[in-house]
Chain A
């Protein structure tokens, strides 16, 4: 008998299984885009056949970081900016777990920016959803790395002098093998993109536009979006890195000018995930590490056998 019977269990899964009992009720503000992510995830997970107990959601800190408080899978609500290193290691420890990391734009692109770049570079097989509301929500409305230039907040009262970070281009350049942008106001597309990202074998980065009606009242997320895959004006090959880069550039240029473009931007199917690469060089075991501890027949080498070189 396996020690992880929830993994790979095949059965009809009800959406409600992902909802905790009576408590806790989400503490997000009315109209917050974070509800949209939660809803899309709850729809996507049963459709890809993932039971709540084989999914590990790892979040950071912020309004967005509370996602897994309201989503009843295995969860690890970590610390500000550090969801990715925790998620990466959980996946390495047990590659059979479905690992989904999530957090805000401050959390993921600001304090966790270094981890973001390196996780993308290494192409870990995890899904990373960044709730991009272009603002710090939980700490009450400070400028974030994706806030537009000139954005005024209590900590940048004269308007931000900084050019916003380009999340899509950044992860593409860093090495993510799946890059998409979707929006809470577009739930059907969001669900489909989340499903694809989960099924994708590599680092799947979703820049998820979530409105923050409380602190970012003039957020552009209210502007009607255009689905780049649906519109004839934006014809490009998602498998072509150069074309994807060009599209991202355009998107990221216009985002702050009133048009919101969403969709998949880059999909690289044939790139091995990090654990495959690691396996190929002989640094990743065949059996999931975590399983060995429950395996009575597992052989455990002793340091005693290494002593020859010291005698």
Chain B
């Protein structure tokens, strides 16, 4: 556990401005030249209740939350103290301090707001004793009082940042810049005053002997701080998507909100509708009428989309749906991540369902694969789903700005123009053979858009003839079914032959052991592999994105090349391992699983430990928070 990194945790009550404060502080660290990665932990409650954001910053790539952390800024839960709310929430203002101590590293720093957290409560949790044991450096400060004196009580966050900067020996410059960008007038002045007052107070009045300092670094190129939700929404914009319909559900709401806020300026249309069945059906309707459209939800809402999803498959209407997983079943844990909707997304809807499913593992992949989803959906006239989770939705990471410097791709794929329609095949009555199987290429029969001359046809969710008449003719059925299935095979071939791999690899190629993962667990796995190799193990990893059509060749090659593999995923039933076995029909005895489903994402150390217990055959059990599922036959 290196201390060449800062892992700063700001804790308070939900609604206390923890999010915006941390966002700004993360940006200030990024601007000072560091790589940053944020992790957000919050309860399913609007105001009050313990919440925190962690920012990990270092002068090297950081791809995951760290193991524990080393700086706590505990603001207290102001809503617990609100006299009007008291009966409701009880007296919980101590939680942002008490709940965070277990993960604080040895030698770490604690700043808590003694203006909000009472002395007797602090005594009750034996802070002094624990601090001594762990060599923590504790700084009680009246942040609330300081904020009140120079401005308003809510500005205590700013005071906290000022104290942090002083204790870490940071320049205030970037923080000041960000504040002036975000506000103006008296508010800005008051905040600046508070920032400096806090900074100076520490410098003038405190002696401190801790070693932790903000790391120093520099970037060669300009960086942007983005969440997975940002990346997905921006990819949709660049793919030419201009229609979104949705119904709010955490955490998918983020993507929905970002696009709703940007579309008016871009001539796009956003619709909040009555439910998720309607939302996906609207996306299908808009796409049918000639617009690149998307919808999305989280588990429960996606369940309702099963119907329109099937309709899109049968009518070959391109559409992109995104699914941001949270812990289930049912309403589950609304604000906690899990990777347990994989089977739901792959197999929901009746019949021999055909769709494309990508599972990006980090911010760049979220962008890349969302664009790919749009491209493929419109080229092949098939629904494409991007599955990710609450973790990737909400975490922020710095990305090279140039990464986003791409041309938009607003074309409608295999859609004909009126000139082309004039040349296309029609039946005797002049109907366009939109579902023609005779000369379909790669299973794709080009389509027309309502209102185009010469393109008239019927789209139907029933099995249908080439012009769209409902048909139960056996020969037609087989021809249409085979054509639809052929699309998936063609997509797999295109992904294998023409596109860069969307799978991501880690570690030395000739390693003996493998870790297989998917989605947002990727970052922690990547760090764990690095550490395992440093510890003398021989491990490599693959993070798989192509769930349907499955990355058959790449996963086979990977598994063949190792003696044994551990599959890491955030669910209780090893869904991804099951998929590998189903798709490849073997390797059941070669794979064990490391599972975590307690509502918190993996930390790299848990994977290191899990690996050692699992594969390196050491005689101990992992922590209670993760579980090992043995290989078939074990």
Contacts and interface: CB of A to CB of B under 8 A. Distances in A.
Given A3-B452, A302-B408, A306-B234, A93 B225 contact: no
Contacts of A85: 273, 277-279, 281-282, 285
A82 B277 contact: yes
A92 B286 CA distance: 7
B431 A20 contact: yes
B291 A77 contact: no
Contacts of B406: 302, 304
A302 B405 CA distance: 8
A78 B281 contact: yes
What range describes how many residues of A lie at the interface?
35 or more
Contacts of A310: 224-226, 230
B581 interface: no
Given A289-B267, A293-B290, A302-B406, A52 B456 contact: yes
A76 B406 CA distance: 35
Q: How big is the B interface, by class?
A: 35 or more
Nearest to B223: A311
Contacts of A4: 449, 451-453
B453 A89 contact: no
Contacts of B452: 3-6, 53
B270 interface: yes
Contacts, number: 231
Contacts of A304: 401, 404-406
Interface stretch (B9-17, B155-163, B459-467): B459-467
A79 B311 contact: yes
Contact of B311 (A78, A89, A300, A301): A78
A86 B470 contact: no
Q: Do most interface residues of chain B lie in helix, strand or loop, or is the interface mixed? A: mixed
B186 interface: no
Contact of B240 (A75, A117, A293): A293
B427 interface: yes
A23 B466 CA distance: 13
A284 to B, nearest CB: 6
Given A53-B456, A69-B458, A79-B311, A89 B243 contact: yes
B459 A290 contact: no
A283 B264 CA distance: 5
B144 interface: no
B285 A76 contact: yes
A96 B451 contact: yes
A94 B288 CA distance: 10
Contacts of B87: none
Interface stretch (B45-53, B128-136, B410-418, B587-595): B410-418
Contacts of B289: 56, 89-91, 93-94, 97, 290
Contacts of B245: 89
A285 B460 contact: no
Interface string B449-490: 111111111111110000011100000000000000000000
Given A5-B453, A86-B285, A92 B267 contact: no
A24 B233 CA distance: 44
A306 B235 CA distance: 12
B180 interface: no
B237 interface: yes
Contacts of B310: 79
B356 interface: no
Given A21-B428, A53-B453, A302 B238 contact: yes
B283 interface: yes
Contact of B315 (A76, A283, A285, A292): A76
Nearest to A295: B410
B404 to A, nearest CB: 5
B299 interface: no
B293 interface: yes
A285 to B, nearest CB: 4
A82 B243 contact: no
A296 to B, nearest CB: 11
Contacts of A303: 233-235, 237-238, 404
B470 A69 contact: yes
28 contacts: A1-B418, A5-B453, A24-B470, A72-B429, A73-B456, A74-B456, A75-B460, A76-B285, A76-B288, A79-B308, A85-B273, A89-B282, A89-B284, A89-B289, A92-B282, A93-B286, A118-B273, A118-B278, A283-B264, A285-B269, A290-B291, A293-B290, A301-B266, A303-B233, A307-B401, A310-B225, A311-B27, A311-B401
* 4 closest cross-chain pairs (CB), A and B: A21-B429, A89-B285, A303-B234, A290-B290
Given A77-B461, A114-B275, 19 more contacts: A4-B449, A9-B453, A21-B431, A22-B428, A53-B453, A69-B458, A74-B457, A75-B460, A89-B285, A94-B290, A115-B274, A284-B269, A285-B267, A289-B269, A293-B411, A300-B240, A301-B265, A304-B404, A311-B222
